[in-house]
Amino acid sequence: MSCSWGTELWDQFDNLEKHTSWGIDFLERYSKFIKERADIELSYAKQIRSLSKKYHPKRSREDESRYTWCLAFAATLQQLNELAVQREELAENLNTQIACELTRYTQEVKTERKTHFQDGRRAQQHIESSWKQLESSKRRFERDCKEAERAQQVSDRIDLDNKTDGEKARQTAQQKKQAAEESRKEYVTSLNQFNQDQHQHYHTLVPVIYQRIQDMEERRIERICEAMRSSAEAERKVLPVVSRCLDVMMDASEGIQPRMDTQQVVEVYKSGFDPPGDVEFEDYSATMRRSISESSYLDNRTEGRRHSRKLWPFIRKNKGSGPADCSHLPPEQRRKKLQTRINNINEEIQREREQRDALLKMREVYERSPQMGDAGSLEPRLDEVKQSLQRLDEELRRNQAWLSEADSRLSDHSSRRQSGGCGLNSQAMTPGSSSLKQLDNRSPASRESPDGSYTEDHSAELHFKSRSSEFDDDFDDEEPLPSIGTCKSLYPFQGQNEGTLSMVEGELLSVVEEDKGDGWTRVRRNLEEEGYVPTSYIKVFLDASAKGAMTYI
């Protein structure tokens, strides 16, 4: 259905003015709505980005890339950051493409509306002026007619009474009649002009002006429609990316594998040690035969409780970086550490080789085409790469040797574990039994600590480092302990760690502290040198049996 404001609303000028003013107010409100929504989207994007940054790891941790749940959470944070980017893009589109355009268009509509209604007011003023002129001529015509009628009546009465005055009255009546005729002609002219102006006003001017106002209103409504459509389209553009982000989050959550993560914990923290064996029986009845005072015995017991006994491998770890061969680590962790180091060295070697090959190719090009560059300028860099490769090769061989050593120890330890031969733990030991005598005759290579993992090489004393650190203050701050006996070294021992004491085979030393169950005995040489030695490397003679009747291994 087609309808025109000019024909249907010809008499609703004031209502049209109010309606169009309300329409512009709505346009301004919608523009403000778009701006505020863009601000909300931008604020949301900033908060999401801040949240993602807040919970993202501050620095790279190896654990973050090892477990599936950590990787899933990292992927979620990354996708949240991408969502923030999309929300920022949406806010930018709402501001630049919609809000700014609506603001500019609102000013244009205001100017256009002002022009149209000014034209309408001028037309209204013109028709009102024409109407006033018609009313004025009409009233004048009416007045002149009444005056002419009265003058005619006066003339008729005078003619009957006095002929002289009658002539004068007739002249006056004639003048009034002529004035009334002129007023009638003027009234007719004003009436025709008004009818012409009115017809033009309501059939030409008003329809044209109102049609322009109607077109303006329709354009305003169409622009609001386009703005709503553009805002929906702007959000629809980011939906595919948002959907992909959500899909990645879903895939990350579905990629979490609890069983794999728990197995990874085993791979990370597995030490490779066997659990401690049975605790041996300690025959304290033999102590009663020693010539040691009861107070000294109680002091030793108190000292033993003060230094709580720890079963290796549950000793306290050393602080610091540890030796280069990672021998301070448990066997399994040492193997993994060395393997990771070897892999990193291989990658670095590969990069250096690629750089060397590139330099060699460049040197060949320079040699064939000297104008492209000086081949001699590459020699310092080639020498540097060569030295780096040599250093990396040496480091690789050294770490491979350590890895082979670690693998062989793990293999030997596994074989002993499967065979069930754990030295002292495989039999019930009592003082004076034959097994104790066999233990004295074993070679150093077969000697083990109470948990079956002690050997004669330097790794046997690595676990002692933590124990020695517990007693460092004893050597510096306390008075020297009295000797409670002597011992004879059965095998040579090189004490490389702090707190240990080196000795040669057959050397006699003073015993100042018995073995507390951790496989180490504290001895002294010449009242100056003091330290710990493996109990299995010596034969102890306490003061009560200086002739060798009582022997502790």
- Which of 230-234, 444-448, 490-494 is the most confident on average? 230-234
Average pLDDT over residues 174-191: 91
Ranking 90-99, 121-130, 288-297 by mean pLDDT, the lowest is 288-297
Sheet holding 508-513, edge to edge: 529-534, 520-525, 508-513, 485-489, 538-542
Residue 302 binned pLDDT confidence (cut-offs 50, 70, 90): very low
Q: Are 326 and 338 in contact (CB under 8 A)?
A: yes
Separation CA 373–CA 381 (nearest Å): 15
Residue by residue, what is the 3-state secondary structure of 437-479? HHHHHCCHHHCCCCCCCCCCCHHHHCCHHHHHHHCHHHHHHCC
- Which of 108-122, 255-269, 409-423 is the most confident on average? 108-122
Separation CA 493–CA 506 (nearest Å): 11
Q: In the prediction, which pLDDT does 338 show?
A: 87
More confident residue, 406 or 137: 137
Q: What percent of the chain has pLDDT over 90?
A: 39
Q: In the prediction, which pLDDT does 43 show?
A: 95
More confident residue, 542 or 16: 16
DSSP class of residue 324 equals T
pLDDT digits (tens, 9 = 90+) for 22-71: 999 999 999 999 999 999 999 999 999 999 999 887 766 666 678 898 88
Q: In the prediction, which pLDDT does 350 show?
A: 92
pLDDT digits (tens, 9 = 90+) for 415-461: 655 555 434 343 333 333 333 333 343 334 344 333 333 344 444 44
**Peptide bond before residue 313 is cis, with ω within 30 degrees of 0:** yes
DSSP class of residue 162 equals -
Average pLDDT over residues 328-352: 85
293 pLDDT more than 60: no
Q: In the prediction, which pLDDT does 57 show?
A: 76
Q: In the prediction, which pLDDT does 251 show?
A: 93
Per-residue tokens: 252? 């990350």
Neighbours of 214 (CB within 10 A): 20
User: Cα 129 vs. chain centroid, distance in angstroms?
Assistant: 76
Q: Whole-model pTM? A: 0.52
Cα Rg of the chain, angstroms: 57
